Structure 1
């Protein structure tokens, strides 16, 4: 029996009851150390799901469990990496990365030590005293991911973190993210609109449909680990990619 990092048990949520539910009696779980991507049209509930997991929204009914526990407030119990890096422009890279530790009350000197121990691993050594304006898009996202890792949670939510990057940088960051995930074995829930990105990164893909979200299609990615970008060109993966893209197109057109 595998250990569950995240569980939704009959979760229902709506922003306004008069407009109907976004999620309705939704059940699913993600096991510890798993990489799961969510794809789906805009408005299908992806961002709402993340807001519920982080505790920015509260479910009307049901339970959300993180590492088997239900928390009165989930804020701080998961790491979150948004689409935009949200680095504070007036703080150095060192200060930006140390922010989650500071918010937990860690002394500044100790927080700096923890950050510095990871700078080389994240490709940021020598840049700690620079400001965000002096970094490339890829490096900013590395800082953002470092910040989410320093949250201390084994559950990380990544909301389209590479969508604003150019194609080459995006591929490089995908490979880098996989290396970090394989090394740390944290549980990652990843939102993307890119089916190929989902196939390359994930163990499973959740395909969200129209609201209310009661259940959804799940696809197990038929690739072993470790994997490389060349694996995406395998005939069975290309076939699966086109199949998923067609299904998503049909759902949008329906």
Structure 2
């Protein structure tokens, strides 16, 4: 847990306008370290730069200043080096579940027989056995998100970015997926960064929570006072309830302004 999987060192980012004028900075002098195997949630008001952090980590954007390190190394071309799971599952409706899940392996040039064998094993591990010949429209929202997560881990990276993956699910399915995700995280021993607007979700899932502010400079880092494994009932502990209220208080003025 002490080996950094991801580091931001004095990272700033701003877009250039069409006239090549510098716009207001989206991130300014951001510092943080995510250790190997950690589960980190990122919360904050809209426009605070949460998704920008993901775009920088994936390499879709480059910092205006500062350094981004993956597994202790500065890598400018980060495309394909981290796993990314967006809000929507983005499964191709014309492809079977097996074909959808195999896509990262196809891109890597892995032979079809080998790719099929690997994916079929994972479908079983993910509770998706028997769905390989189905299409996305045949599956529930929770099952489609499992396929999307499977595709994310097939990137081969130890760093996975999950951008509000359960926001479109109903409350019961969402809780089920949260519990399932924690089980997969324990089994896979990956490092996860998870964007959410749900404070309870962040508390339930995370080792630490990064709270982003509207000034896009400071990131308040909060350790979740819960051990592992944990259950949803642990959120009723007085210390956790106080922390939840504190986090909501930090966010509420910014949401109302």
State TM-score, norm by structure 2.
0.96
Matched, 1:103 2:107: yes
| SS of residue matched to 2:172 | helix
**In 2, distance between residues paired with 1:118 and 1:187?**
19
Instruction: State the Cα distance separating 1:61 from its structure 2 match.
Output: 1.5
Structure 1 residue corresponding to 2:228, chosen from 222, 225, 228: 225
Look up the match of 1:215: 218
Q: CA RMSD in A?
A: 1.2
Q: After TM superposition, where is structure 1 displaced by more than 6 Å over at least 4 residues in a row?
A: none
Look up the match of 2:181: 177
Instruction: State the Cα distance separating 1:253 from its structure 2 match.
Output: 3.4
Matched, 1:59 2:57: no
**In 2, distance between residues paired with 1:12 and 1:23?**
5
Look up the match of 2:256: 253
| SS of residue matched to 1:19 | coil
Matched, 1:241 2:221: no
**In 2, distance between residues paired with 1:205 and 1:109?**
41
| SS of residue matched to 2:34 | strand
* Aligned pairs for 1:6-155 within 5 A: 6-16=6-16, 18-155=22-159
**In 1, distance between residues paired with 2:97 and 2:195?**
25
**Consecutive unaligned residues in structure 2, runs of 5 or more:** none
**Bigger Cα displacement from structure 2, 147-156 vs 240-249:** 240-249
| SS of residue matched to 1:18 | coil
1:61-82 Cα deviation digits (max 9, x unpaired): 1111111112231011100000
**In 1, distance between residues paired with 2:76 and 2:251?**
36
**In 2, distance between residues paired with 1:104 and 1:248?**
42
**In 2, distance between residues paired with 1:28 and 1:241?**
22
Q: Is the 8 A contact 2:30 2:219 kept in 1?
A: no
**In 1, distance between residues paired with 2:131 and 2:253?**
46
Instruction: State the Cα distance separating 1:18 from its structure 2 match.
Output: 2.8
Instruction: State the Cα distance separating 1:107 from its structure 2 match.
Output: 1.2
**In 2, distance between residues paired with 1:68 and 1:126?**
40
**Bigger Cα displacement from structure 2, 124-133 vs 14-23:** 14-23
Q: Is the 8 A contact 2:10 2:67 kept in 1?
A: yes
State TM-score, norm by structure 1.
0.97
Q: Is the 8 A contact 2:82 2:159 kept in 1?
A: yes
